A and B are shown apart, each in its own frame.
Chain A
Amino acid sequence: MNFDFSDDQKQLRDQARKFLAEKCSPKAVRAVLDGKAPYDRELWKGLAEMGFLGVAIPEEFGGAGAGHLELCVIAEEMGRALAPVPFSSTVYLAAEALLIAGSDAQKKKWLPKIASGEAIGTLALFEGKGNPSPKAIKLAAAGGTLSGVKKPVPDGAIADFAVVAARTGSSGRDGDVSLFLVDLKAGGVEAKSLTNIDPTRGQAELTFKNCKAEPLGASGEGWGVITQVLDRAAVLLAFEQVGGSDRALEMGRDYALDRIAFGRPIGSFQAVKHMLADMYVSATLARSNSYYGAWALSTNAGELPEAAAAARISATQAFQHCAKNNIQVHGGMGFTWEFDCHMYYRRANALALTLGSLSYWEDQLIDRMRKKNAA
């Protein structure tokens, strides 16, 4: 048994960590947080040059053709550094949708541009409140055009293209949903940036008005593709959450060692030690569940749906837990804009909702476990 990343993959992780430590300091994250730029363009370019954007994209489409385990270790570092770039929307959502359902021509058109950093992509799924559901898709497709409103769309205001879920039937079943590929710079779509709890990752409202769109995958098979994309993204985002959890835990630990109160480091008080020990427990459970998700993702195993849901839940809980208690360990200073704690708190709570909420994934996990038991 070797339930671990290989030496090469660990080396890639170290390489990504070193690169991000240099190019993605908290100061760089703050530039986006403070609204000075919608995302860190320099970093995005650098990620492309390092080959990180296309690490899981096959060589024939301009990528490195390495694989998803490699993408997982990079995702962990992106989460640890709070990278303020449209990585998850472009790489986990748009690129994965193209890889699963795209025609050869569609892949050839967009995947090389993703790998080179020339194109930002996203998935336009949600239409207001609620979790992923075919019934919630109202945006209508007719005669090769789309009309309706999508929000929130991650990185929608800076994206060059979007995979859009649209209604093409009215049977009330999954088969009503089809996917479309839309060039957002070709007109017919209005993008509005929306204020959100984590300004280091943008959210937008996209309004489609008889917008030209080409089908992605077969008509009526959109929901199946979305389910697959969400599962794959759940594993990859879980690694971002694991990276974020570890960093928040380290910040708390370091502060507890440095901060003196009542004549001793606060990390010598059991109330604080135990809080940090519990954060370590959450982070460890999340990491182990995510490793299983990575294995299922990289081998396209039948276990993927269950593994993805478990990784998603565990990693969401861990990042939320570590981020909020990191602030608690820091006390009043943790609640200042100046300290970085709130950036992790914001990211943890934003990631907890992307791809649907915790309660949605809890429900999914039990469904999938039952299916497995029945099989």
Chain B
Amino acid sequence: MNFDDTPQEAEFRKTARAWIAANAPKQYEEELRKSSLGRTQLKNANILEVAKAWQKKKADAGWACLHWPKDYGGRGASPIERVIWQQEEGAFGKLSGLFIIGHGMCGPTMMAFAREEHKRKYLPPLASGEKVWCQLFSEPAGGSDVAGLRTRAEKDGDDWIVNGQKIWTSGAHYSDYGILLTRTDPDVPKHKGLTMFFLDMKSPGVEVRPIKQANGNSDFNEVYFTNVRIPDHQRLGEVNDGWNVSLTTLMNERMSIGAGVATGFPELFDYCSSLMLEDGAAIEDRGVRSKLANWAVRASGLRYTSMRAISALSRGERPGPENSIGKLVAGSMIQDVAAYALDLQGAAGVLSGPEDADVAGRFQAMLLRAPGTRVEGGTDEIMRNIIAERVLGLPGDIRVDKDVPFNKIPTRGRS
């Protein structure tokens, strides 16, 4: 048992470290390090531009999408090299957040299902960040139950005509392309009538409307489709096999290891270490210490769980299922951590202005953003189902709509 690199890993780390030291946008490092959930903008620069510039620089030197084949803009690196890169990239890795959907989900789906000429054309600019991609799955009527989506695609000659509405599309407002899951046959059960496409977000009939979130920011969008034409050669997978195609996408969403999930704990521990309460230093208080200790072991537990997965990668094995706990643990934890940081401030905890609130209102921003983390990318409840079914082998839910044609499924509860 050790934490040492193999000689090859050490060599790779050295090369990566040297390149990052010579090329990273250091003027933003401090600010990026201090950014936290709900507080991810840069003060004097547009983060999208900074992120795109960094991504392009990486791509030109062969440091973008490391695990992708070279032909598609990657480096052909091993999984463990990708992890080492992420460790070395550190705070600059936060700039990759804008490309996470494209690199983590759209790219792998294109790689598995697109035509060769499309892969060569679209993947390299996706890897280099010159083109940003989004994922158009969720709908007002299909969130956790994504197969319940209603956006229609109907064949018209060599094209498909799409009408409907998507929601919760991260980054649609700055995306150039998207992968789109549609309903192509409403007369069969819901999983059997879906088809996947990719499309140009500038296509006529695509309208992006930002959603004003509960925390006041707008990271997500509604996307409306009105008679949008998509050529059939942009179809991914067979007609009506879109559900299986989407599983590839979602599988990749959950394979991101080593990036580290935000728990809010390091921020809270720092805060408590200097905070003074009426009776003395917060960190001397029994109640505070008990809370901190409980979160400390959850944060360290996640860190070491991810190290176990990395060790499996290092041995060239597939990581076990234990990494599936990350999002579930971190999501509710960061919410509780933020609420507790406000509790420690007493009545003044309500103040959220950077000039009035402690640590410039970081915890207030975290609190207001946190509910979203327990929903996006799979709700806590869906994550528990996944653990129960795929890890523990418990039965799937009884699905009353499984064999019902999609257009016969009830659409309202109380009617």
Contact = CB atoms under 8 A, between A and B. Distances in A.
Contacts of A317: 294, 297
A170 B181 CA distance: 76
Contacts of B381: 270, 274
A315 to B, nearest CB: 9
7 contacts: A1-B3, A3-B3, A3-B311, A288-B305, A291-B304, A294-B1, A365-B293
A5 interface: yes
A59 B254 CA distance: 47
A30 interface: no
B388 interface: yes
A366 B283 contact: yes
Interface in B263-310: 269, 273, 283, 286, 289-290, 292-294, 296-298, 300-305, 307-308, 310
A281 B304 contact: no
Interface stretch (B204-212, B216-224, B393-401): B393-401
Nearest to A314: B297
Nearest to B272: A366
A276 B308 CA distance: 22
A280 interface: yes
A2 interface: yes
B395 A268 contact: yes
B314 interface: yes
B392 A277 contact: yes
Q: Which 8 A-B pairs have the closest CB atoms?
A: A285-B301, A362-B293, A273-B388, A288-B304, A277-B384, A268-B395, A277-B387, A288-B305
A282 to B, nearest CB: 9
A43 B157 CA distance: 78
Interface stretch (B42-50, B238-246, B321-329): B321-329
Interface string A351-371: 000000001011101100110
A89 to B, nearest CB: 25
Contacts of A69: 1
Interface string A254-296: 0011000000110110101110111011001111110110110
Nearest to B385: A273
Contacts of B391: 277, 280
Given A1-B311, A277-B384, A295-B2, A366 B301 contact: no
B121 interface: no
Interface of A: 1-6, 69, 249, 253, 256-257, 264-265, 267-268, 270, 272-274, 276-278, 280-281, 284-289, 291-292, 294-295, 298, 309-310, 313-314, 317, 359, 361-363, 365-366, 369-370, 373
A273 B294 CA distance: 24
A278 B293 contact: no
Interface centre among B300, B302, B329 (most CB of A within 10 A): B300
Interface centre among A249, A257, A281 (most CB of B within 10 A): A281
Given A2-B1, A280-B325, A281-B328, 12 more contacts: A2-B314, A3-B310, A4-B312, A284-B325, A285-B325, A287-B322, A289-B297, A292-B300, A310-B296, A313-B297, A362-B294, A365-B297
Interface centre among B9, B298, B303, B328 (most CB of A within 10 A): B298
Contacts of B1: 2-6, 69, 291, 294-295, 298
Contact of A264 (B312, B383, B387, B398): B398
Interface of B: 1-5, 9, 269, 273, 283, 286, 289-290, 292-294, 296-298, 300-305, 307-308, 310-312, 314-315, 322, 325, 328-329, 381, 383-385, 387-389, 391-398
B301 A363 contact: no
A74 B188 CA distance: 55
B273 A281 contact: no
Nearest to B328: A281
Given A270-B397, A291-B1, A295-B2, A366 B298 contact: no
A285 B290 contact: no
Nearest to B388: A273
Nearest to B395: A268
B392 A253 contact: yes
Contacts of B394: 253, 256-257, 265, 267-268, 272-273, 276
B280 to A, nearest CB: 14
Nearest to A256: B394
A232 to B, nearest CB: 16
A363 B287 CA distance: 10
B372 to A, nearest CB: 21
A286 B301 contact: yes
A369 B288 CA distance: 14
Given A257-B394, A366-B283, A314 B301 contact: yes
B392 A284 contact: no
B296 A284 contact: no
Contacts of A309: 293
Interface centre among A69, A277, A287, A314 (most CB of B within 10 A): A277
A289 B301 contact: yes
A3 to B, nearest CB: 4
A3 B289 CA distance: 29
Contact of B398 (A5, A268, A286, A370): A268
Contacts of B315: 2
